[in-house]
Amino acid sequence: VSRSRNSQREGAEPPAPEPLPIPVADAHCHLDIMGADVATAITAAAAVGVTQLVTIGCDLPSSRFAAEAARAHDAIFAAVAIHPNEVGDGIAEGVFAELTALAADPRVLAIGETGLDHFRTEEGQHRAQEESFRRHIALAKELNRTVVVHDRDAHDDVIRVLDSEGAPERTVIHCFSGDEDFARKCADRGWFMSFAGNMTFKNAQQLRDAARIVPAELLLVETDAPFLTAMPFRGRPNAPYLIPLTMRALAETRGDDLAELCGTVAANGQRAFRMPTAA
Ligand SMILES: [Zn+2]
Ligand SMILES: [Zn+2]
């Protein structure tokens, strides 16, 4: 999601939810923006059955942070990229070169988040964003990494660009925000769809309808922490230990058995990112 740095971090940390019956991964969080101690975040998450975390890069410093955190902690894996909102008029060659070097690290499993954001960016920057998205897709394919796609008000263009480049073997639409029709198009292409806490919001019926028709084997769950804290804690600070809120909402919406869905989502995480099985 776009990074309005302070708007969603008011108030006290929500209490820990009941642990999940089977551990899953948080497919998308921003440990650097959370500003929390990484080891503490891992421990809190593991205590409720969230045993692996993918921390996401948005610019060079956060991509460096992600790679370092992943090297330092078995539970953490990294994605590196320049976020579409950080592309501006284009990515400097030196920046892309360092990104490429970081992406070669075996603890960096994904290129992301990249993609298109037509909500927060001016029309004039769309061309540079698309160019950047295409370069990130090419890098993911070159290094056999997963691509993590940010899509804000840009569903059709995201499909157009991925189709024209040829999507990487493992493609994740993060913070899925489309309707049933978009979910079907993603499913037809074998792309993973990752749901965040916003699917629990009162006004998000369209998202719940979409979540219901996603094939179970393409479903992922994420916090996008520190943003988008699930109900009933909307507006409070988000963190990977709150994954059970969204995981339970997904199972309930879909009418799935929680343990069964956790098992499927856990396996999906390992397939989507080629993560090793959690210790
Ligand atoms: Zn995003
Ligand atoms: Zn994000």
The residue to which tokens 């421990």 are assigned: 43
**Gap from CA of 1 to ligand 1 centroid (Å):** 3
User: What pairing do the DSSP bridges indicate for beta strands 108-117 and 24-29?
Assistant: unpaired
The reported pLDDT for the residue numbered 63 is 98
- Cα–Cα nearest to 221, from 179, 272, 185, 145: 272
Nearest ligand by distance to the CA of 117 = 1
**Gap from CA of 150 to ligand 1 centroid (Å):** 4
**Gap from CA of 26 to ligand 2 centroid (Å):** 12
**Gap from CA of 279 to ligand 1 centroid (Å):** 28
The reported pLDDT for the residue numbered 279 is 63
Note down pLDDT in tens along the chain; length 279 residues: 444 444 445 678 999 999 999 999 999 999 999 998 999 999 999 999 999 999 999 999 999 999 999 999 999 999 999 999 999 999 999 999 999 999 999 999 999 999 999 988 777 789 999 999 999 999 999 999 999 999 999 999 999 999 999 999 999 999 999 999 999 999 999 999 999 999 999 999 999 999 999 999 999 999 999 999 999 999 999 999 999 999 999 999 999 999 999 999 999 999 999 998 776
**Gap from CA of 5 to ligand 2 centroid (Å):** 12
**Gap from CA of 69 to ligand 2 centroid (Å):** 17
Query: CA–CA separation, 39 vs 215, rounded Å?
Result: 34
**Gap from CA of 56 to ligand 2 centroid (Å):** 7
Query: CA–CA separation, 106 vs 109, rounded Å?
Result: 7
**Gap from CA of 196 to ligand 2 centroid (Å):** 10
**Gap from CA of 249 to ligand 2 centroid (Å):** 20
Nearest ligand by distance to the CA of 151 = 1
The reported pLDDT for the residue numbered 8 is 46
The reported pLDDT for the residue numbered 4 is 46
